[in-house]
Amino acid sequence: MDLVKTDSKNIYYPPGGILLWIIIFLELFTFGMALVAMVMYSKDEPEVFHSSRLLLNSAFGLTNTIFLLTSGFFMAKSVESFKASDHIKSSFYLKLTMLGGFLFLLLKSFEYYEKIEAGLSIGYNTFFSFYWMLTLFHVIHVLVGLVILISVYAGLQKKKSDLALEDFEASATFWHMCDLIWLLLFPIIYLLF
């Protein structure tokens, strides 16, 4: 009987490693449960949720979605270039990735400023409690992701870079998780109610 040799690394070691994927599933579960709770609470206060959602600027939400998705695209291109040993292209795409993250944070900061100026803080009502908790938790993830990407970028700039593919893929995986979480938050918070 002829056994076919398989690459077990693909099965047991997904990009970024199994531990990172466990963390990602826990993060998605956490955000998912919070979004389910938000939807459940909206059933008790439909008018509050609808009128509060109308106070959000969906153009900001859409623009931030574009920033993160574009950033995710450039992250994928950066990994692709790194695998091809083209560190110059990889570094360029990584800078574009980080730019998308910084633009996201800049616009989100402006949006937060507007909400605070209008008195729409975390205690304003149930909708805004969820809005602030979910989006701030996501912002923390984006900040952590940017710190990781900055360290990867610094590693790429060394003359003899010892940056491992596994580390590069782990940073990309974390960044794509930030994209995915935003893709869950945006339609539910900005469009649903």
| Ordered structural domains, the chain, with CATH | 18-192 (1.20.120.80)
CA distances from 6 to 9, 10, 12, 87 (A): 9, 9, 11, 30
Q: What is the pLDDT of residue 11?
A: 55
Q: What is the pLDDT of residue 190?
A: 93
Residue 13 has pLDDT above 80, yes or no: no
Q: What is the pLDDT of residue 171?
A: 94
Residue 135 has pLDDT above 80, yes or no: yes
Q: What is the DSSP letter of 4?
A: P
Helices of type H across 57-164: 58-83, 87-117, 126-157
Helix axes 126-157, 18-44, angle to 10 degrees: 160
Mean pLDDT (the chain) is 90
Residue-wise pLDDT for 73-129, tens only, equals 999 999 999 999 999 999 999 999 999 999 999 999 999 999 999 999 999 999 999
Q: What is the pLDDT of residue 166?
A: 86
Structure confidence at residue 7 as a pLDDT band (50, 70, 90): very low
Residue 46 has pLDDT above 70, yes or no: yes
Measured between alpha carbons, how far is 65 from 178 in angstroms, rounded to an integer? 11
